[in-house]
Amino acid sequence: MDEVTFKSDTVLSDVHLYTPNHRHLMVRLNGMGQPVFLSQFKLLWNQDSQTDSGTEGGHHGMGPTEEMPPSGPGSSRPPLGSGCSSDVTIQEGVGARLDEDGDLDVERRPRTASDPEPAGPPRDKVHPTILTQEEDDPLADEAQESSTQDIIRIEHTMATPLEDVGKQVWRGALLLADYILFQRDVFQGRTVLELGAGTGLASIIAATVARTVYCTDVGTDLLAMCQRNIALNSHLTAAGGGVVKVKELDWLKDDLCTDPEVPFSWSQEDVSDLYSHTTILLAAEVFYDDDLTDALFKTLSRLAHKLKNACTAILSVEKRLNFTLRHLDVTCEAYDHFRSWLQRLERLADGRLRFAVEPVEASFPQLLVYERIQQLGSCASAPFLSMTQ
């Protein structure tokens, strides 16, 4: 028997990390043997948003259908990792307790019954609930309390290797979906192409108003997950009359796959429709690797040459800060590489093509339940860029 090797190079989206335990419903194993979970996200399009969602306020919860107070300035909840000032007080003249290595040994006082309860559900560790055919769906009762038109259900994986991060739900995709809901008139009756669609969340939201949405990515298992999510939310797309078509689009290849023997390949009719009618391109949270960022922008340029109509690309990105040994400092190299491509596009002079890059502030009302953080919402982060041909 081969030796089992456990790898630690897995990535977990904050969207799933901060979701309460009872929301993690394991429904099946995918074709690669990975656990697949079901989450639901609440749409707020039938009610007025309470506030504009900048870096302060407008936070409608850490996870699906759950509300938690925001962190940061003006919040009653201390930022994650900041500690709590009432837990430990070191008074002048009182010797601090040190451990055997000389480090400060902080003794937390036990929680008493008089301590106030937290304002929202705790950020527990993930303990998924396994859902079997014999059991009732715990999400069903909650879904019945709200209109089915107010819920989007998404199947996804958790804690995947880097090459499978598209199978998780990311905040950038939620922000892009939120922007689509806010700009419904812009998408009305349009033909839309999403690149690197992942679980298909943004494509599904776009199909509530668009005529046709091409939901594209690579990998048969991932595209099959997209197809399942579209079927789960057919009540949303049917109401708007939109059609979602799941297709393979590999950024590393110059041409679309038209081999009918290959799953999720393109028919000649779809290829013609794509190039003749597409006016909006979407991409969310696909700028985490420099090679993929290069491939995406080259794909955007290639498509711009083939599309018959002027188009707008709406790109969503989260500015992630990391400490690197190379710099011995906190950097955001992936985001910087993304920005360098935008500057290159602005300088591009390629015949009839001209690109105008415009940051879009995330100050629009929040119409989908998720947490907007500063890295998504500030103008400096440039979460959205309108790239007009």
Helix-helix angle 333-347:290-306, to 10 degrees: 30
Element containing residue 240 per DSSP (H, E): helix 234-240
pLDDT for res 320:
82
Collapsed DSSP state (helix, strand, coil) of residue 98: strand
Where are any strands of DSSP class E within 157-242? Answer: 160-161, 191-195, 212-217
Q: Are 155 and 37 in contact (CB under 8 A)?
A: yes
Q: Is the pLDDT of residue 54 over 70?
A: no
CATH number of 164-388: 3.40.50.150
Element containing residue 386 per DSSP (H, E): strand 384-388
Please state the rounded mean pLDDT for residues 293-314.
92
Collapsed DSSP state (helix, strand, coil) of residue 248: strand
DSSP state of 166: G
pLDDT for res 245:
98
Measure the CA–CA gap between 75 and 56, rounded to whole angstroms.
8
Q: What is the pTM of this model?
A: 0.74
What would the two tokens of residue 212 be?
Answer: 């046709």
Q: Is the pLDDT of residue 352 over 50?
A: yes
What would the two tokens of residue 182 be?
Answer: 């806010």
For residues 4 and 349, which has the higher predicted lDDT (pLDDT)?
A: 349
Residue with tokens 């819920």: 151
Element containing residue 329 per DSSP (H, E): strand 329-331
Mean pLDDT taken over the chain: 75
pLDDT digits (tens, 9 = 90+) for 83-95: 333 333 333 334 5
Q: Is the pLDDT of residue 229 over 90?
A: yes
Least confident of 53-67, 106-120, 165-179, 199-213: 53-67
Per-domain residue ranges of the chain: 164-388
